[in-house]
Chains A and B, each alone.
Chain A
């Protein structure tokens, strides 16, 4: 009855209620129909995201390193030590040079394949460590030994000529 009388006499309704005659539940309630439509939209967005990955890979492929790059003199890095260097191309990429043993050198990209933290060579362990999330890579091959990194460290070929250290793109094809 009370409802009916308020309906009959709209002048008794508070001003705010006549200005916004929508119930809060109606506004905040997400129906199953809306949820299903949202899932459809999400599905389209995910397909679009997958397309962006393809376009990026096809239109902007990772270019191989061209030519040889001088790093340092061989006598500057003692056995078991690590040397950091950068190669500037379309973007500057940091690398590490490791003097593993006498006449055994390795060069890897310094960015961890997990979340691109800077990795370092641990002489005491004989491994490359990512200190952020305790990921470990083999200092010999760059393969993942432990932790969250999903891929091995990108590797460069080291060439020693006239007591100088050069790096270049590795020729062997790595099939995964």
Chain B
């Protein structure tokens, strides 16, 4: 029997791909910004600029939260296809 989810997937077969790509691109962007923050914080903290280190830590922490929150929207594996094979 067809349900809403199955109809959705059949009507938009590329949806999972698009979602997955968008999530991965966003995650790479977040991680890239965090690496930049970490590099800056290392250099500035060594120079005695503690405020830069604190600011980048807050930014990095928020980005990490956003990254983990994004993982909630990872599309589920397509179970029906494996079920069909059987």
Partners in one complex: yes
> What residues of chain A have their CB less than 8 Å away from a CB belonging to chain B?
32-33, 35-37, 39-40, 42-44, 46-47, 49-51, 53-54, 56-58, 62, 113, 150-151, 176
B34 near A36: Cβ-Cβ < 8 Å: no
Compute how far the CA of A176 lies from the CA of B54 in the bound complex, rounded to whole angstroms. Answer: 17
Most B-side CB within 10 Å, residue of A36, A37, A42, A51 = A36
Chain A contact residues, majority secondary structure: helix
A53 partner residues in chain B, CB cutoff 8 A: 38, 41-42, 45, 53, 57
Residue in A closest to B16 when the chains form the complex, CB atoms: A32
A55 to chain B, nearest CB (A): 9
A50 near B56: Cβ-Cβ < 8 Å: yes
A50 near B38: Cβ-Cβ < 8 Å: yes
The answer to whether residues A39 and B53 also contact, given A50-B37, A53-B42 and a CB cut-off of 8 A, is no
Residue in A closest to B65 when the chains form the complex, CB atoms: A47
A100 to chain B, nearest CB (A): 25
- Which of B31, B38, B42, B47 is the one whose CB lies under 8 Å from A39? B31
**CB < 8 Å A-B pair total:** 89
Residue in B closest to A150 when the chains form the complex, CB atoms: B43
> What residues of chain B have their CB less than 8 Å away from a CB belonging to chain A?
20, 23-24, 27-28, 30-31, 34-35, 37-38, 41-43, 45-50, 53-54, 56-57, 60-61, 63-64, 67-68, 70-71, 74, 77
B24 partner residues in chain A, CB cutoff 8 A: 32, 35-36, 39
Compute how far the CA of A62 lies from the CA of B24 in the bound complex, rounded to whole angstroms. Answer: 40
A57 near B71: Cβ-Cβ < 8 Å: no
A33 partner residues in chain B, CB cutoff 8 A: 20, 74, 77
Could you list 5 further interchain pairs (A-B, Cβ under 8 angstroms) beyond the known A36-B27, A50-B34? A36-B20, A39-B67, A42-B31, A43-B34, A54-B45
